[in-house]
Structure 1
Amino acid sequence: MYSKILVILLGIVVITCKDLNETDRATRAAFIQRLLNKRKSLEGRVKLLGGSNKFEGNVYIYHAGRWGAVCDDSWDDAAAHVVCGGLNMTGIATHGGQFGTAVEKYWMDDVVCEGDERSLSHCIFSGWGSSDCDENEAAGVICAEVTANAIPSNLKKKPTKRLHEVLDIGTSIRLVGGKSSAEGRVEIYHNSRWGSICPDGWTLYEASAVCRHLALGYAEQAHQTDYFGSSKIILSGIHCQGNETNLFMCKHQAIGDVACPGEVGHVAAVVCTRQLADLLLDTTAIQRSAHLQDVPMFQLQCAMEENCLSKSAYEIQKINPNWQFETRRLLRFTASSLNIGNAEFRPYLPKHLWQWHLCHMHYHSMEVFATFDILNGSGRRVAEGHKASFCLEDNTCMPGVEKKYSCKNYGDQGVSVNCSDIYQYNVDCQWVDVTDVEPGDYTFKVAVNPHARIAEQTYHNNAASCILRLTETYALVYDCKLLRP
C-alpha cells in the first residue's frame, strides 16, 4: 500500500514538474518571439554617424541584430538619394570615410541603386557581410531639402533607345590618348565633331562592346579617368549587356549637349587585350548535387563568422542561450567553373592583400567569388548565399594539362586554361540557408565572378538560372540555363 502511495506521489511531482517546464518553455518562447519581432522591425533601417547634424554622416544599416557600415565601392548619388529619401530629402554621396572611419564591420559593399528603391537593402549589393574594404572606405551622405518643382538629379533615368536608332550616318568611335592602339579614352564622332562619353556607370560590360566594335579583342579594364586626357562629353547613360558586337547596340540616355555627374575631366576609357580568361559554370554539377541537409548550429560556427547563414540564425544566437542546438536547413550543391579562355583566371588583389581567415585556416584571395540567390515568382530575393574564395586552384584539368595552382602550403591561387575550380557540396558556405523559406517553386540563381571584378572574354556563361522545387523533405533543381550574373 505504501508503495502505491509513493508511486502516486511521485507521479504528481513528475506531472507538476512537467507542467512547470512546459510553462517555462512557453514563457521563454514568447520572450524570444517578442525580441525577434523587435529586431525584425529594425531590419533594414539606416542611421547616419559622424556628421555635424542628423542629416549627414557615414551610413550604417541594421541587419541580423546589429548595425554595420556601408563600403563606398560603387557608391553614388542614386544610393544617397535612397538613404535620404526616408527623410523626404535628396542626397549627395560621400566617399573615403569623409565623416570618420567605419566603426562597425561592413554589412554592404558594391551597392548599386537606381534611386527609386524603397530602402537601401532593396538595391543590388555583394551580399550581407561580403566586403573587401578597409575602415577608411566608409560610404556617407549629405541630405538636403528638395526644392519645389525640382526633380532630384541623382535619380537614374533608365536608358530606353539603342544608339544605332539615333546616330547619324558616318558615326564612328575611336580610342585616344593611349600608349598603344588598344587603350585610351573612348570618343564618338557625332554631328561633325568628336566627343567623350560620360563615365557614370561605365563598367567592363560597356568596355567589352567598345573592344569588339574596334576589333581589339576583349576588355581588360574599364576606367573612369582623365589619365588619357579628356574632351567635351557628348554621350551619357551608356548601358550594355556585355555581349553586344558593337557599342551602337547598347542603350543610352542622351547624346549631344549632356550633363555628366562625377569628377570634372573624367571620361570613359578602356584597355583592350586579346588574351583573357573565361569561366564556364557547369549547370549539370549544380542539378545533380543539389540536396537539403539539416545541420545543428554548433557545427556551423566557422560559417557563421563568414556570414553564410540567413539573418534569423544570428538573431537566435543573440537571444537564445541554447542556440547551438538549433538546426538550420541548408540547400547544398556543387559549383564547378572551367576556364575556357586563353589566359589564366587570377585574383585581382596581390597576394599581400589577401585576407587570412583563422577559423577555416585559409586565405581569401577575393572576398566574393560566387553568389547564390533564391527568388520568388515576382523576382524578390527570399534567400541568399555567398562564397568567398576559400582558394582558387586547379582541382581538375583537361587531358594533357598540368595543374599549376594549388592552395596547399599557402600556395599561389588561380585557375589555369582548361582547368576547373570546384567547390564540392560538402564545403563550408557552399549552400543557401533555406530555413525560413516556405515550400514551393522558386528561381535558383548561381553566379561566379558576379560583379565582374576580374575581366573575362564573356560574362554570359558565368551564371545559371534554374527552377528550384522546395518541399518539406527534399529539394529539386532542374532546367538550368546559362546567362549573365
Structure 2
Amino acid sequence: MKTKLNEIAVILICGIFIIKEVLTKDLSEEERALRAAFVQKLLNKQKYLEGKIRLVGGSNDFEGNVYIYHAGRWGAVCDDSWDNAAAQVVCKAFNKTGVATHGGKYGKTTRKFWMDDVVCQGDEKSLSHCVFTGWGFSDCEPSEVAGAICSDSNNEKLDVLSNLEKKKRIHEVLDVKSVSLRLEGSKTPNEGRVEIYHNGTWGSICADGWTLYEASVICRHLALGFAQQALQTDYFGTSKVVMSGVECSANESNLFLCAHEDFGDVTCPGEKGRVAAVVCTRRLADLLLDSTVIERTSHLQDVPMFQLQCAMEENCLSKTAYEIKEKNPDWQYETRRLLRFTASSLNVGNDEFRPYLPKHLWQWHLCHMHYHSMEVFATFDILNMAGQRVAEGHKASFCLEDNTCLPGVERKYSCKNYGDQGVSVNCSDVYQYNIDCQWVDVTDVEPGDYTFKVAVNPHARVAEQQFHNNAATCQLRLTDTYATVYGCVLGRP
C-alpha cells in the first residue's frame, strides 16, 4: 500500500511540473491574443449577465421563483417584504406586468440567497436598484423563495390576482360539525404534525406557505396556548396531504375560519413528505406598539447628506439620494427631508422577546460600532390613496434592549460591551426620533394626505402571543413645512 502511494505521489509531482512547463512556456503573439480574447469574452459575458433575472420552476418562462445573477453566479431572492411592486420590476424585464408569489411556490431553492428584504417602488429599472439588505446577507430557509407571475396586460394581471384571491373559508366547504383537528407524531401533546379529520379519514396539511400566523390559530383552536414554531417538516411523520393553501390572519378563534385553496386530492409543491407542523407553548413575548408616541413625536427635519453617511450604508434613504451621490461630486451638501418619530414597543407577554439569531451570528457594524441582532426589526411605509407605497424605511435591530421598564421591574438587557439583546416582560424597547434610520425619507413625496404604517417584528420572525398589536396604521398629512400623524389604529403588519 505504501509503495502504491509513493507511485501516486511521483505521478502527481510529474503532473505539476508538466502543467508548470505548459503555463510558463513562451507564447507567440497570436496565442497571447487568443487567450486575451477568451478572457475578455468571459468578462463581457459576466458583465452582461450582472443583475439579469430569470424565473425558474413555472409552467413557462414567465412565471416561477426569481433568480438574479451577481458576482458570476445565479442566486435566489428571499420573500421577506416581497410584494407586487417588486414582482412588477421583475416582469418589466420581459415587457410584462406581474404579481408576487411567496413561500417557494415553485419549489425550494438549492442556491444561495443573493437578496433579502427587497423593497421596490415599482418603477426601478432593475431589481438590483431596489432597496435590500445587501448582496448575500440573508437568514432565509430554502422554502422562503420569492416568485413572480408575469402576464401580457393589466387585464391578465387582474385575472391572475383574482385567481390567487379565490380562496374560500374552510367552514364554507366542509361541515365543521364532522371535522376534527389534532397534533400527531409526538410524545408530547403540545407539538406535532397538524392533521384534519373528515369523512372518516385523518390527513395532513400542505406546508407550502405555512407560517406562525397559521400555527398560532392551530394552537388557539386546540387550547394549547401560543405558537412557538411553525414547521415544514417530516420530523413528526407523514400522512396523506388533504388540504392546501391554508391562510390565516392570525386572530381567528379556530382553523375553520381560515382560508384555503383545495381539499381532498391536492397538489402540494415543495419537498415530498414535508407537512405542516407546530410547537405550542404557554409562555411567549408579546410586543405592543405605542401608537400615541408615534403621533406625538412625528415631525419633519431637513438634514445635509454628510450627516447621513452611516445611515446610507443601511439603505435608510430613498433611491434618489444614492443617485445624487453617484452623479454629484458635492453630494455631501445636498439635503434630505426626513419624517422622524419615536417608536416604543412594550413587552406585555409572559416571556422575554429575544432575537431569533444566536449571538455568534450577529453582524458587527463598524460605522455604528455595535452588533445587529436582527436584519429588520421595524418597517415604515407611506402609502398613497391607492394603497401604493411612495416611500419606505426600515430599522435594523441596532440595539434591542430594555430602555424603560414599569415600576418594580429591573432592566436586564443592554447592548453595551457586546451584551445580550432582548426585551424583558413589562419593559419597552424605545427608538428615539434622533437615532439613525428612525425616519422615512420623504424628500420626493409630494404634499398631500397619505397612510403611514409602522410595524415591529414585521415578518413574524420572532414568535409572539399575537401579532395584531405589532403595527400602527395612521393618517399622515404632509405639507411643505410640517407633517402631522394622527388617527393611528393597531393591527397586524
TM-score by length of 2: 0.76
Shift of 1:87: 3.7
Q: Which residue of 1 aligns with 2:277?
A: 269
Q: Which residue of 1 aligns with 2:213?
A: 205
CA distance in 1 between counterparts of 2:168 and 2:463 reads: 27
Q: Which residue of 2 aligns with 1:460?
A: 468
Shift of 1:80: 8.9
Name which of 47, 60, 83 aligns with 2:52.
47
Q: Which residue of 2 aligns with 1:298?
A: 306
Q: Is contact 2:76–2:109 with CA below 8 Å preserved after alignment?
A: no
CA distance in 2 between counterparts of 1:314 and 1:359 reads: 18
RMSD across aligned C-alpha pairs, in angstroms? 3.9
Shift of 1:70: 5.2
Q: Which residue of 2 aligns with 1:166?
A: 173
Over 3 Å counting, the alpha-carbon distance change for 1:70 and 1:245 in structure 2 is same
Aligned residues: 416
The answer to whether 1:95 aligns with 2:100 is no
Q: Is contact 2:108–2:270 with CA below 8 Å preserved after alignment?
A: no
Over 3 Å counting, the alpha-carbon distance change for 1:61 and 1:440 in structure 2 is farther
SS at match of 1:318: helix
Q: Is contact 1:184–1:271 with CA below 8 Å preserved after alignment?
A: yes
- Opposite residue 307 of structure 2, the aligned amino acid is Q
CA distance in 2 between counterparts of 1:145 and 1:309 reads: 32
- Opposite residue 161 of structure 1, the aligned amino acid is K
Equivalent residues in 2 for 1:12-91, closer than 5 Å: 47-48=52-53, 59-60=67-68, 71-72=77-78, 83=90, 87=94
SS at match of 1:212: helix
The answer to whether 1:477 aligns with 2:481 is no
- Opposite residue 355 of structure 2, the aligned amino acid is P
CA distance in 2 between counterparts of 1:135 and 1:244 reads: 27
Structure 1: stretches of 5+ with no match in the other structure: 1-44, 63-67
Deviations for 1:114-145, whole angstroms, at most 9, x for unmatched residues?
xxx9899999xx96337841799896989999
- Opposite residue 323 of structure 1, the aligned amino acid is W
SS at match of 1:211: helix
Over 3 Å counting, the alpha-carbon distance change for 1:82 and 1:207 in structure 2 is farther
Over 3 Å counting, the alpha-carbon distance change for 1:484 and 1:318 in structure 2 is same
Name which of 372, 386, 398 aligns with 1:390.
398
Q: Which residue of 1 aligns with 2:42?
A: none
The answer to whether 1:411 aligns with 2:419 is yes
Shift of 1:154: 12
SS at match of 1:409: coil
Q: Is contact 2:248–2:259 with CA below 8 Å preserved after alignment?
A: yes
Name which of 322, 329, 334 aligns with 1:326.
334
CA distance in 2 between counterparts of 1:154 and 1:442 reads: 25
- Opposite residue 166 of structure 1, the aligned amino acid is V
The answer to whether 1:349 aligns with 2:357 is yes
Deviations for 1:52-73, whole angstroms, at most 9, x for unmatched residues?
xxx79973399xxxxx975345
Shift of 1:227: 1.0
Q: Which residue of 2 aligns with 1:339?
A: 347
Shift of 1:276: 0.2
Name which of 425, 436, 455 aligns with 1:428.
436
Over 3 Å counting, the alpha-carbon distance change for 1:120 and 1:318 in structure 2 is closer
CA distance in 2 between counterparts of 1:58 and 1:161 reads: 28
Structure 2: stretches of 5+ with no match in the other structure: 1-49, 99-104
Q: Which residue of 2 aligns with 1:28?
A: none
Runs of 4+ in 1 over 4 A off after TM superposition: 55-58, 73-76, 78-86, 88-94, 117-123, 134-146, 151-156
Deviations for 1:382-401, whole angstroms, at most 9, x for unmatched residues?
00000001111000001110
Shift of 1:155: 10
TM-score by length of 1: 0.77
Q: Is contact 2:194–2:205 with CA below 8 Å preserved after alignment?
A: yes
SS at match of 1:175: strand
- Of the structure 1 ranges 160-169 and 394-403, higher mean CA displacement relative to structure 2 is found in 160-169
CA distance in 2 between counterparts of 1:348 and 1:173 reads: 29
CA distance in 1 between counterparts of 2:428 and 2:276 reads: 34
Over 3 Å counting, the alpha-carbon distance change for 1:143 and 1:480 in structure 2 is closer
CA distance in 1 between counterparts of 2:322 and 2:118 reads: 23
CA distance in 1 between counterparts of 2:185 and 2:145 reads: 32
Q: Is contact 1:440–1:469 with CA below 8 Å preserved after alignment?
A: yes
- Opposite residue 174 of structure 2, the aligned amino acid is L
CA distance in 2 between counterparts of 1:58 and 1:171 reads: 38
CA distance in 2 between counterparts of 1:387 and 1:189 reads: 43
Equivalent residues in 2 for 1:437-452, closer than 5 Å: 437-452=445-460
Shift of 1:160: 3.0
Q: Which residue of 2 aligns with 1:14?
A: none
Deviations for 1:157-193, whole angstroms, at most 9, x for unmatched residues?
3253211122233201000012310000000001211
Q: Is contact 1:439–1:472 with CA below 8 Å preserved after alignment?
A: yes
CA distance in 2 between counterparts of 1:370 and 1:306 reads: 13
Over 3 Å counting, the alpha-carbon distance change for 1:320 and 1:60 in structure 2 is farther
Q: Is contact 1:80–1:92 with CA below 8 Å preserved after alignment?
A: no
Shift of 1:222: 0.3
Equivalent residues in 2 for 1:188-227, closer than 5 Å: 188-227=196-235
Q: Is contact 1:92–1:143 with CA below 8 Å preserved after alignment?
A: no
Percentage of identical aligned residues: 65
Q: Is contact 1:174–1:188 with CA below 8 Å preserved after alignment?
A: yes
Over 3 Å counting, the alpha-carbon distance change for 1:141 and 1:273 in structure 2 is closer
CA distance in 2 between counterparts of 1:266 and 1:135 reads: 17
SS at match of 2:231: strand
Shift of 1:49: 8.1
SS at match of 2:196: strand
CA distance in 1 between counterparts of 2:253 and 2:126 reads: 32
Q: Which residue of 2 aligns with 1:129?
A: 133
Q: Is contact 1:94–1:142 with CA below 8 Å preserved after alignment?
A: no
- Opposite residue 421 of structure 1, the aligned amino acid is D
Q: Which residue of 2 aligns with 1:157?
A: 164
